A and B are shown apart, each in its own frame.
Chain A
């Protein structure tokens, strides 16, 4: 909104030349981040109260019992706050003609809606298990996966001919051209896997949000580099025209996440729910694909991958097929808790791990 307005004013008169500030991505990024933080701070308390009054409580454990030692009855669906903050911030600071931005927003909203449906079903049926069926969830995620893959390799692709090239970290040149079908299938699986991985990670207070802050921030830096002709040439990145807009989006996202952490930190006043975790997962996967950093994600978001893999290996291979446990417990954070590490400690240790992973990933900017 402001972006459009300023551009309009600049065309009108020389007097408004200070408005060219909005053409600087750094300025808009900072403003976007601040806007979403302020949004979250403004609306969190009324939102939490509203959720509480409507009994939109976390339904993991039995309802109606308030044990003195657990956190049952905490309001959920905090993801709505994050989505709302990012949307309003982008409303103000975004360039809505940019295809990169539209793709990312679509991913966030689509996955947010899936998560919202799931949360809502759980709350309505008063049970943590009776949310949306696994199959429905997967079908809806696949719909987006297919659509997004089609956009990526299709004629409207924001990436153009680069789309089907596969880049790997620590290597300058594209490794292989996968062709539209193979690459489309790859994107499809990637999007579904990442979104569910975040969903699994979201099990302890603040565990999902901070690592995704790291991921999104690193991706914001990549977006800035790749969207900048000089830096991209200097660092041997393919120049992606318009990708700079993703910096603003990622900044808004990071701001919203930071604001959310304020309330979500242990002991949480609100949970993000599937609404939040799926939206975050969807956003991160779309961002990585658009910035050609799909292969960096296993490193950058290594925590999410580890959580998803331990959970799947334990459940599908161990418990259901072999009839034994392969880890003490799964996913990873429950294993750590089982070993006897307190929730707060587990969360902070995993933050540290994901921070280190983010730093290593950032090093690939130059180490290629």
Chain B
């Protein structure tokens, strides 16, 4: 009985193992038409290329059946429905990082649920290809396909399209198992040497240039004649920075309302932390009175999303947007001049890299966003008046717009749709390997390398330090400045400290108030830290480096003076010392100011010898009367020679500045200084000699020394060999 049941079970399982796959394969073959599963999304930048590829396939194989798989509530839910493709949802979530946390547990649950859903979808739909365009939305489908392939239940091929120059986390990880990675930028090939193919960015067929009149008729709203049209949008989801900035900028457009028209795509984002449409409406109401709003309505049209974006592009004279790969390629495809606002603080800075590449070809201008703290939130922000100013300047220069438009057309790699189709259908005769011009791509420096470069340059010659020359490119420097300023908002003091140094070395003068705020901030540190000798939230190093940065920035005004006066009485000795150094640096401005003399004289009594020495030097720069000399003379018997040395230097400066006259009496007074020192500089003669030889060899310049004539040489040397 027992054996029988086991045998029966074995037979049944064998049958299942053999026949189920066979039956499934039959199911695959039974549907004769081509089936393609599309996935990817989260933002329009991921959805649109998928739709563009689908359009291409449909043109070539009209009978193709498509299925789009996405995540509920994201961009694909709106765009794909509208495009008329069947859409199904799975569950997925962004990768929260390797560290174990509640978020990572939720991620695992959502992902496994998504994979199960995907298996059901895949078994039912049985696609020949899975085309994934990135975003975490495509993760469950790719995983499920790989799983089915491993079980030999599916012959499906996986194609992944990567839009950015630096691959997203998901594509970088899952890409290695897919059949082909279709890349937009040649630089990305290094990430996928085996299966990567450069194809460019597929642009939807609907994105075509139309005559302006035709496009105007298609629009749902009317644009009065003889207006210059600016199209502002922040991608399919909308960008808070851009939305808020353009609302702020409207005020500056009111005087020009007769000659321009703003079209504003607010974005589809309706999540709890940012509801694009509501936020924009609220801001409009808060910023403008009723009358102003009425005026604004005459030249301003807003909508959450334009499905006929080609028409909007066609009527606009300038495009203001993010520099995601999608927007860039559409702009370039249509040859539009643009003003790009790259999203800051992204992994790999890829939006900045994209914008730089386009800027390099002369097709665009860049406006970087600031990172600021508003309340408890860290936000990116663009100043409305700055945005308005840039837009107006561009609109006032039609030649520049025309030039940008022409260069914009050249920027794109064309025929990317054909290249993608040739990869999908495995056309042998299509040459995919050539025809790309690669963008000049000088990598951006990371903050530490930037700091190293700038501080080395500064130290080499503080007098004629110029960050633009050190970095080599003004736009890059502007970006570095914004990045440095963003660091100032970080939670970890190490980051803020780095930010302070970089703000100083990049000479970002607009941030001086922020630096001064950090210097004078007296918010106490955590109690544990205070027990161990910490003081304030802006730790000692930060305050010291702020003072140093002010010195590098080389700017002086009343506010800076007040903050420095506060720094000179700081509880941390290095801040006091640095403030004294700054006082010496700005000495010519402070000379004769009673307040400063008193502060420095107080520092001469400091417990820390560093402060004493720096103060003594500063007194030499600031002092204007006998009190300075007296105070310095009082240091003549100080325990440490460095303080005595500094005092002597101070006296020397006073003499140079003609505060005191050199005289025998002064000499006799100075003669009472204790001149013994506990330190000396060693000099290794042999190394010095070697050094001169080294310098000669490296620079090829031999100093003219006395040359001995042969006559003076000893006989043995002078005699010529026979």
Which A residues are closer than 8 A to B by beta carbons? 66-69, 71, 267, 317-319, 321-326, 328, 339-342, 345
A324-B534, A341-B679 given as contacts; is B540 within 8 A of A66 (CB)?
Answer: no
Decide: A342 and B532 in contact? CB cutoff 8 A.
no
In the bound complex, how far is the Cα of B607 from the Cα of A328, in angstroms?
Answer: 12
A-B residue pairs in contact (CB < 8 Å), sample of 17: A66-B687, A67-B691, A68-B684, A68-B691, A317-B532, A322-B525, A322-B533, A322-B534, A322-B539, A323-B540, A324-B572, A324-B574, A328-B610, A340-B640, A340-B641, A341-B678, A342-B678
Does any Cβ of A come within 8 Å of B588's Cβ? no
Select from chain B the residue with minimum beta-carbon distance to A343: B682
Decide: B541 and A340 in contact? CB cutoff 8 A.
no
Within 8 A of A (CB), among B562-596: 572, 574
Decide: A322 and B678 in contact? CB cutoff 8 A.
no
Chain B neighbourhood of A340, CB < 8 A:
609, 640-642, 677-679
Does any Cβ of A come within 8 Å of B305's Cβ? no
Chain B neighbourhood of A341, CB < 8 A:
678-679
Decide: B687 and A322 in contact? CB cutoff 8 A.
no
Given A67, A321, A326, which contacts B687 in the complex, CB threshold below 8 Å?
A: A67
Select from chain A the residue with minimum beta-carbon distance to B541: A323
In the bound complex, how far is the Cα of B638 from the Cα of A340, in angstroms?
Answer: 13
Given A66, A326, A328, which contacts B533 in the complex, CB threshold below 8 Å?
A: A326
Q: How far apart are A341's CB and chain B's nearest CB, in angstroms?
A: 5
Q: How far apart are B27's CB and chain A's nearest CB, in angstroms?
A: 55
Does any Cβ of A come within 8 Å of B173's Cβ? no
In the bound complex, how far is the Cα of B542 from the Cα of A322, in angstroms?
Answer: 11
Decide: B683 and A69 in contact? CB cutoff 8 A.
yes
Select from chain B the residue with minimum beta-carbon distance to A317: B532
A69-B682, A340-B642, A340-B678 given as contacts; is B534 within 8 A of A323 (CB)?
Answer: yes
Select from chain A the residue with minimum beta-carbon distance to B540: A324
In the bound complex, how far is the Cα of B572 from the Cα of A326, in angstroms?
Answer: 10
A323-B539, A339-B609 given as contacts; is B642 within 8 A of A68 (CB)?
Answer: no
In the bound complex, how far is the Cα of B684 from the Cα of A328, in angstroms?
Answer: 28
Decide: A322 and B609 in contact? CB cutoff 8 A.
no
A68-B688, A340-B678 given; name 9 further pairs at CB < 8 Å: A66-B694, A67-B687, A68-B683, A267-B682, A323-B534, A326-B533, A339-B642, A340-B677, A341-B679
In the bound complex, how far is the Cα of B275 from the Cα of A356, in angstroms?
Answer: 74
Given B542, B678, B687, which contacts A323 in the complex, CB threshold below 8 Å?
A: B542
Does any Cβ of A come within 8 Å of B690's Cβ? yes
Select from chain B the residue with minimum beta-carbon distance to A324: B540
Q: How far apart are B147's CB and chain A's nearest CB, in angstroms?
A: 38
Q: How far apart are A349's CB and chain B's nearest CB, in angstroms?
A: 10
Q: How far apart are B249's CB and chain A's nearest CB, in angstroms?
A: 39
In the bound complex, how far is the Cα of B687 from the Cα of A66, in angstroms?
Answer: 6
In the bound complex, how far is the Cα of B608 from the Cα of A66, in angstroms?
Answer: 34
In the bound complex, how far is the Cα of B539 from the Cα of A326, in angstroms?
Answer: 12
In the bound complex, how far is the Cα of B574 from the Cα of A322, in angstroms?
Answer: 14
Give the residue among B493, B535, B642, B678 with the most A Cβ atoms within 10 A.
Answer: B678
A322-B533, A340-B679 given as contacts; is B541 within 8 A of A66 (CB)?
Answer: no
Decide: B540 and A325 in contact? CB cutoff 8 A.
yes
Chain B neighbourhood of A317, CB < 8 A:
532-533
Does any Cβ of A come within 8 Å of B681's Cβ? yes
Q: How far apart are B527's CB and chain A's nearest CB, in angstroms?
A: 13
Does any Cβ of A come within 8 Å of B3's Cβ? no
Decide: A342 and B541 in contact? CB cutoff 8 A.
no
In the bound complex, how far is the Cα of B639 from the Cα of A340, in angstroms?
Answer: 10
In the bound complex, how far is the Cα of B687 from the Cα of A342, in angstroms?
Answer: 20
Select from chain B the residue with minimum beta-carbon distance to A337: B679
Chain A neighbourhood of B608, CB < 8 A:
328
In the bound complex, how far is the Cα of B609 from the Cα of A147, in angstroms?
Answer: 48
A66-B690, A68-B688, A317-B532 given as contacts; is B539 within 8 A of A324 (CB)?
Answer: yes
Select from chain A the residue with minimum beta-carbon distance to B683: A68
Does any Cβ of A come within 8 Å of B680's Cβ? yes
Decide: A324 and B682 in contact? CB cutoff 8 A.
no
Decide: B532 and A322 in contact? CB cutoff 8 A.
yes
In the bound complex, how far is the Cα of B679 from the Cα of A323, in angstroms?
Answer: 30
Does any Cβ of A come within 8 Å of B529's Cβ? yes
Chain A neighbourhood of B574, CB < 8 A:
324-325
In the bound complex, how far is the Cα of B541 from the Cα of A326, in angstroms?
Answer: 11
Q: Write the B664-706 contact mask toward A (1 if CB under 8 angstroms, else 0).
A: 0000000000000111111111011011001000000000000
Decide: A323 and B684 in contact? CB cutoff 8 A.
no
Q: How far apart are B589's CB and chain A's nearest CB, in angstroms?
A: 29
Chain B neighbourhood of A323, CB < 8 A:
493-494, 497, 534, 539-542
Within 8 A of A (CB), among B478-537: 493-494, 497, 525, 529, 532-535
Q: How far apart are A25's CB and chain B's nearest CB, in angstroms?
A: 43
Chain A neighbourhood of B681, CB < 8 A:
69
Chain A neighbourhood of B691, CB < 8 A:
66-68
Chain A neighbourhood of B642, CB < 8 A:
339-340
Q: Write the B528-565 contact mask toward A (1 if CB under 8 angstroms, else 0).
A: 01001111000111100000000000000000000000
In the bound complex, how far is the Cα of B528 from the Cα of A321, in angstroms?
Answer: 11
Chain B neighbourhood of A339, CB < 8 A:
609, 640, 642
In the bound complex, how far is the Cα of B643 from the Cα of A339, in angstroms?
Answer: 10
Across the A-B interface, give the 3 residue pairs with the lowest CB-CB distance, nearest first. Answer: A323-B539, A324-B540, A68-B688
Decide: B684 and A69 in contact? CB cutoff 8 A.
yes
In the bound complex, how far is the Cα of B681 from the Cα of A345, in angstroms?
Answer: 13
Q: How far apart are B628's CB and chain A's nearest CB, in angstroms?
A: 23
Chain B neighbourhood of A326, CB < 8 A:
533
Select from chain B the residue with minimum beta-carbon distance to A338: B610
In the bound complex, how far is the Cα of B683 from the Cα of A323, in angstroms?
Answer: 36
In the bound complex, how far is the Cα of B688 from the Cα of A367, in angstroms?
Answer: 55
In the bound complex, how far is the Cα of B687 from the Cα of A177, in angstroms?
Answer: 58
In the bound complex, how far is the Cα of B640 from the Cα of A340, in angstroms?
Answer: 7
Q: How far apart are B181's CB and chain A's nearest CB, in angstroms?
A: 35
Chain A neighbourhood of B682, CB < 8 A:
69, 267
In the bound complex, how far is the Cα of B690 from the Cα of A161, in angstroms?
Answer: 62
Chain A neighbourhood of B541, CB < 8 A:
319, 323-324
Q: How far apart are B581's CB and chain A's nearest CB, in angstroms?
A: 16
Chain B neighbourhood of A325, CB < 8 A:
540, 574
Q: How far apart are B567's CB and chain A's nearest CB, in angstroms?
A: 14
Given A66, A68, A71, A322, which contacts B529 in the complex, CB threshold below 8 Å?
A: A322
Q: How far apart are A333's CB and chain B's nearest CB, in angstroms?
A: 14
Given B533, B684, B685, B688, which contacts A324 in the complex, CB threshold below 8 Å?
A: B533
Select from chain A the residue with minimum beta-carbon distance to B645: A340
Within 8 A of A (CB), among B105-156: none
In the bound complex, how far is the Cα of B540 from the Cα of A210, in angstroms?
Answer: 37
Chain A neighbourhood of B678, CB < 8 A:
340-342, 345
Give the residue among A68, A71, A324 with the most B Cβ atoms within 10 A.
Answer: A324
In the bound complex, how far is the Cα of B680 from the Cα of A71, in angstroms?
Answer: 15
Chain B neighbourhood of A71, CB < 8 A:
684
Q: How far apart are B528's CB and chain A's nearest CB, in angstroms?
A: 9
In the bound complex, how far is the Cα of B688 from the Cα of A69, in angstroms?
Answer: 8
Q: How far apart are A178's CB and chain B's nearest CB, in angstroms?
A: 30
Chain A neighbourhood of B680, CB < 8 A:
342
